[in-house]
Amino acid sequence: MTDSTLQNPLTSAEVARIKADFEILERPVGGNELVYLDSGATSQKPRCVYEAEQHFYETANAAVHRGAHSLAVEATDVFEQARSTVASFIGAQPEELIWTSNATEAINLLTYSFSNASLGRGGEAAARFALREGDEILVTELEHHANLIPWQELAFRTGATLRYVPVDPQGGLRYELLDELVTEKTKIVAFTHVSNVLGTITEVGRFVAAARRVGALTVLDGCQSVPHLPVDVKQLDVDFMAFSGHKMLGPTGIGGLYGRLELLNDMPPFLTGGSMITYVDMERAEYLPAPQRFEAGTQRISQVHGLATAASYLAETGMQRIADWEEHLGHLLYQGLSAIEGVRVFGPQDAARIGTVPFEVIGVHPHDVGQYLDSRGIAVRVGHHCAQPLHRALGVTSTTRASTYLYNTEEDIARLLEVVGSVREYFGV
């Protein structure tokens, strides 16, 4: 990937050109021009991504790793080249990237593999992943349910204890508690890179250092960072990272799990079946090394190709340029919303963040706010954003969330601020 730190910042004119690559953004909603501020839920796709999927079906559709005919060879080449492209995008080796349906499946893959290790599957090599009563798993109060519930279930299955790093009243992580919470009992430290609610960026190094001190494994939720920030898993020094394709301009139904190769090769498989074995008789099976040992069955070939195309689009634009532009938009959002009478903005004001800001209009339910904005052509997310514990810590049950991406303009932010400013008057508050 090009060192985007050496590239010029994105300009409003360039963002307008980027926006033109996304045909859906040209459609009207309710008679208004669409302002899409829900990329935290799912991103829109540039023309090249869905054309790549279509081109695969038109020219090379076949099962991968299974045939010797020309189409099968070509499809396998497309599939594995995509793995190399996306692995490079996150700073990994191709063998360290496992394809999954999404980040939720990636985290569940880990927890069920660790469950199998706890039952003795994988022998001595897998013993490091086994949990038992007295062991501890550490998460944070920021987590999306996808990086919380699987660990709750793993604790239930193994007898381990789940603990968490709390947030302060503004939603900032209580880093000063890490030394107290990470002990010799801690086996896994799982945490988000960027809060899907607040948009705040976690200090990954502090979690990794605490985990390394006691030999615990680290699991990073990269769903909101891989699309928006330059991410290099080797520099971050995490053991595992999950991410989703549909949040980074790619298709739905495709995600990935990064893992250190030496760890992946020692882990027992999660899903079993065809294409992940070396030997089978009627009593037992032996498994391929990573990544194939975790990719049972027919794979998501066109989606993988589309995701690689999306990663190339982002890399060509420059991830640091995207991060800087979104930081700018996030500042406009946070400051602009904070200045509107009757609007409460959540999250630490001085925290590093992407362009995601949650808020409430006092006296108006977030769902009513969302419907009112939609009637003006503005798409935002409302609800608890799959993070009920965080909302409870903030003292609310739901919020309205605006989340930006590389195709959002300063005019989009101005439109949102203008319409939010009229909400209370419209509802007679």
pLDDT digits 0-9 by tens, 98-152? 999 999 999 999 999 999 999 999 999 999 999 999 999 999 999 999 999 999 9
Instruction: Please give the average per-residue pLDDT across 152-169, as a whole number.
Output: 98
What's the CA gap between 143 and 30, in Å, rounded?
A: 34
Where residue 197 sits, what CATH number does that domain have? 3.40.640.10
Domain count, the chain: 2
What are the contacts of 23-30 at 24+ separation with CB within 8 A? 23/47, 25/407, 28/377, 29/374, 29/377, 29/379, 30/374, 30/375, 30/376, 30/377
Structural domain span for residue 368: 4-46+318-426
- Whether residues 339 and 283 share a domain: the answer is no
pLDDT band at 30 (very low <50, low <70, confident <90, very high): confident
- Whether residues 349 and 266 share a domain: the answer is no
Q: Which two tokens stand for residue 297?
A: 């069955």
Choosing from 386, 388, 393, 421, the catalytic residue is 386
pLDDT beyond 50 at 312: yes
Where residue 327 sits, what CATH number does that domain have? 3.90.1150.10
- Whether residues 189 and 125 share a domain: the answer is yes
- Whether residues 291 and 368 share a domain: the answer is no
pLDDT digits 0-9 by tens, 263-289? 999 999 999 999 999 999 999 999 999
pLDDT at res. 255: 98
- Whether residues 276 and 366 share a domain: the answer is no
- Whether residues 168 and 293 share a domain: the answer is yes
pLDDT beyond 70 at 418: yes
Q: Which residue in 250, 218, 235, 262 sits closest to 107, CA to CA?
A: 218
Side-by-side strand order, sheet with 381-383: 343-345, 356-361, 399-403, 381-383
pLDDT at res. 7: 67
- Whether residues 196 and 293 share a domain: the answer is yes
340: left (phi over 0), alpha (psi -120 to 50) or beta: beta
Domain end: 283, 315, 347, which one?
315
Q: Quick check: helix, strand or coil at residue 52?
A: helix
Domain end: 315, 347, 375, which one?
315
- Whether residues 339 and 250 share a domain: the answer is no
What's the CA gap between 22 and 24, in Å, rounded?
A: 6
Report field, pTM of the whole predicted structure over 0.75: yes
pLDDT digits 0-9 by tens, 359-382? 999 999 999 999 999 999 999 999
pLDDT beyond 90 at 5: no
pLDDT band at 4 (very low <50, low <70, confident <90, very high): very low
pLDDT beyond 50 at 166: yes
- Whether residues 14 and 102 share a domain: the answer is no
pLDDT band at 1 (very low <50, low <70, confident <90, very high): very low
Contact call for residues 307 and 245 (beta carbons, < 8 A): yes
pLDDT beyond 60 at 160: yes
What's the CA gap between 227 and 404, in Å, rounded?
A: 11
Q: Quick check: helix, strand or coil at residue 156?
A: helix
- Whether residues 11 and 100 share a domain: the answer is no
- Whether residues 309 and 323 share a domain: the answer is no
pLDDT beyond 90 at 408: yes
Domain end: 315, 342, 374, which one?
315
Half-sphere exposure of 137 (CA within 13 A, CB side): 28
pLDDT beyond 70 at 87: yes
Instruction: Please give the average per-residue pLDDT across 230-236, as a whole number.
Output: 98
Instruction: Say how many C-beta atoms besides its own lie within 10 A of residue 232's C-beta.
Output: 12
- Whether residues 102 and 17 share a domain: the answer is no
pLDDT at res. 225: 98
Contact call for residues 192 and 140 (beta carbons, < 8 A): yes
223 is catalytic: no
